[in-house]
Amino acid sequence: MLAQKKATALAYLALVVDDPKISAARFERDFGLPRRDFNCGGSTVPVISVGTTALALFGQADPSLGPDPKKGVHHLALGAADPEAAARAAGLPTAGSLSKGLDGKAQISLAPAATSGVRVRFTEPLGLAPARSDIVERIDHIGVASADNRSARATFIDRLGCVYESQQTDSEVETISENFTSDTHRYIFHTRPSRLVGSMRVTFITVGDCELEFLQDLTTDVSADAARHDAAGDTRADRSAIARHIAARGAGLHHLAFKTPDIAATLGRLGKAGYRLIDKAGRPGSRRARIGFIHPAALGGVLAHFVEREEL
């Protein structure tokens, strides 16, 4: 029997938020996750432990992020005892030289053009203990707006040592029917040709104790719908969100998802706590899951959702 390949370690996921202190307090109070503050280039960065990894909360003005960072999921940091050697072993071009990151740990960034638009850094491990709460078990996945899932698979599996998990295609088809009822000519039923309104190829690649979810829009001949955060989503809306992100920012990190044991209880609890919910009840998601999004304003500008699903 072949030994299972060990997944690459995820040291932390960087989020850019309106106010790191406020977002950190929400993760502590409402999500029940532990916090620790780290120094990074003279700034204090709150770090939230979740599963075997962590969320590092940066403000938009933090100089360690590079020029003009946008609110949302900014970069992921892969753990490596020797970041420079790990970058050389991956055979991917770097963006700059070795520098100091969280807690003065050595880090080096890869060129996003070589990693499917995903900002990736290698960093020395932070040494945090695993953590979970009654509503958050770990990060379920990190969503990526992808222009080419084949290229992403080659980079993250062959070069960065991540592990293939699964792939699926999500599609939404619209069918319009007409009914003609006459008191003389009886009933006639007519169905118009079906129309594809949304389709995505979704590829999951394991990193640490979660997955990268690469979302590639397959409906290039269908215009994207307007952005909405006031109604529950569906495949058409999710596909439109990815299309808009690619058009505005290019390929790259898009959203964050937490694994929860009970989606109904979690959404109900957050709703009572004053969180604005996009999905007020769980809806079907990838990998036979039930999912529910919360409004980006709840976490300082980060789009996030919860996932309830069985482990295979």
Question: Could you give the percent of the chain with pLDDT greater than 90?
Answer: 72
Banded pLDDT at 240 (limits 50, 70, 90) = confident
- Per-residue pLDDT, 33: 98
Give me the half-sphere count of Cα atoms (radius 13 Å) on the Cβ side of residue 249. 23
- Per-residue pLDDT, 3: 41
Banded pLDDT at 16 (limits 50, 70, 90) = very high
pLDDT digits (tens, 9 = 90+) for 252-309: 999 999 999 999 999 999 999 999 999 999 999 889 999 999 999 999 999 999 999 9
Amino acid at 59: G
Pairwise pLDDT comparison (78 vs 244), residue with the higher score:
78
- Per-residue pLDDT, 260: 98
Torsion, Cα 76 205 226 61, to 10 degrees, reads 0
- Per-residue pLDDT, 2: 38
Q: Find the range with the poorest average confidence among 7-11, 40-44, 80-84.
A: 7-11
Banded pLDDT at 1 (limits 50, 70, 90) = very low
Q: Is 125 helix (H, G, I), strand (E, B) or coil?
A: coil
Give me the half-sphere count of Cα atoms (radius 13 Å) on the Cβ side of residue 107. 25
- Per-residue pLDDT, 18: 97
CA distance 125 to 168: 33
Q: Contacts for 272-281 with beta carbons within 8 Å, 24 or more apart?
A: 273/30, 275/30, 276/229, 278/229, 278/230, 278/231, 278/232, 278/233, 278/305, 279/232, 279/233, 279/305, 280/232, 281/232
CB atoms within 10 A of CB 201: 18
CA distance 204 to 166: 5
Please, are residues 73 and 15 in contact by the beta-carbon 8 Å criterion?
yes
CB atoms within 10 A of CB 180: 10
Domains belonging to the chain, first-starting first, are 10-308 (3.10.180.10)
What's the predicted TM-score (pTM) here? 0.89
Give the DSSP letter of residue 97: -
Tokens matching residue 299:
């976490």
CA distance 106 to 205: 26
Pairwise pLDDT comparison (42 vs 152), residue with the higher score:
152
pLDDT digits (tens, 9 = 90+) for 173-212: 788 888 888 888 788 888 888 777 778 899 999 999 999 9
Sheet holding 99-100, edge to edge: 35-40, 43-50, 53-59, 10-17, 72-79, 120-123, 106-109, 99-100
With 50 as the cut, is the pLDDT of residue 4 above it? no
- Per-residue pLDDT, 312: 66
- Per-residue pLDDT, 195: 78
pLDDT digits (tens, 9 = 90+) for 144-173: 999 999 999 999 999 999 999 999 988 777
- Per-residue pLDDT, 223: 61
pLDDT digits (tens, 9 = 90+) for 57-112: 999 999 999 999 999 999 999 999 999 999 999 999 999 999 999 999 999 999 99
Residue in 47, 27, 29, 23 with CA at minimum distance from that of residue 37? 47
What lies within 8 Å, CB to CB, of 161 at 6+ separation is: 5, 8, 90
